[in-house]
Each structure stands twice: as structure tokens, then as C-alpha cells.
Amino acid sequence: MDLRHAASLSTTNTARDALALEPATLAHWERTLQRANAALRMDQPVMALAYQQQALVIALRIAQDPPAGREDDCIAALVVSHLNLADLQVEAGALEECTQLLCSVHATLLGLMADGSRGTALQQAAWRHSRETHAALVRHVQAHGAHPDITAVLAAASGVLQGAAH
């Protein structure tokens, strides 16, 4: 899945607009994630959600064109942002949004794994982190039941893995 498409599934327009002019760096992502965690500690779930959405926008941008040698860090940021936001959606009772976030990040990683033009380091990072997103999808099904989108993305993963074995 294209990272720009993942962004449209995963974030609000407000979060994207607020960050459009700021440089996307891992340091900026980390600061935004720290703000989200601080908001959670202060029992401010709406603020935490907004910061998590901003962190996801930044992660999507840095994963689109990661600095050389930082591919794994950028993919980790992408996964962490999706999983954190998915957790907040579950807490808010928004299971469909959570499902879409989990499917989106897993599909994004599958796309990176299959795209030889993106470079070996990015493919390997996507491969490593896809275990986390796969596990998150399985946990979601165990906790909330089957969902056709999850079934589809797990089937797609099977196809990518079979293609990689050949």
C-alpha cells in the first residue's frame, strides 16, 4: 500500500494540515510522541489522540523517504505510531478505526517488502516490523472477532511471503 494512501486512512485532515510545513524528522516524531505520552499521563485522551495523529503524519513522511542508514528507525516509527493510535481508538470504542489502522500499516509494510525499487534496507526493515503488525492483527481478532479487512490483509501477507520464498 502506498504510504500516502495509508495517511489518508489513518489521520485527520487537521493533523496533516498542522504539520504540512514542518520538517519531518525522527527527532520531531520523538518529541510529538513524548507529548502524546505526557497527555496520556495527564489523563487528556483527546490531546493524546491529536498528538498521536500528528506523530503518525510525521512517521508517514519520514518512512516515505528515510535517511540512509535510518530505514529501520523510520519503519519502527511508522509501526509504533499506527499501533499507539490503534490502541487509543480501542479505548475510545472505535473498533472500526482501530481495524483500519492495523490493516493499513500491515498492508503498507507488505507493499514495501514487495517493492524492490525502495532498497534492500527498507525492505528488510518492513520485513522485521511486519511481525509486530501481524501479531497486532491476530490479537485484535482474538479480542474483537474476525473482520473481512483483516482476513484480506492476512491473505495478502501470505501471498507476499510465498512470493519471497521463491
Among residues 146, 111, 148, 117, which one has the least CA distance to residue 130? 111
For residues 93 and 96, give the distance between their C-alpha atoms in angstroms, rounded to a whole number. Answer: 9
Among residues 44, 47, 62, which one has the least CA distance to residue 15? 47
User: What pLDDT does residue 105 have?
Assistant: 98
Q: Hey, what amino acid is at 19?
A: L
How many other β-carbons are positioned within 10 Å of the β-carbon of residue 110?
Answer: 22
Least confident of 6-20, 75-89, 140-154: 6-20
Q: What is the pTM of this model?
A: 0.84
DSSP state of 23: -
pLDDT for 22-66, tens place per residue?
Answer: 689 999 999 999 999 999 999 999 999 999 999 999 999 999 999
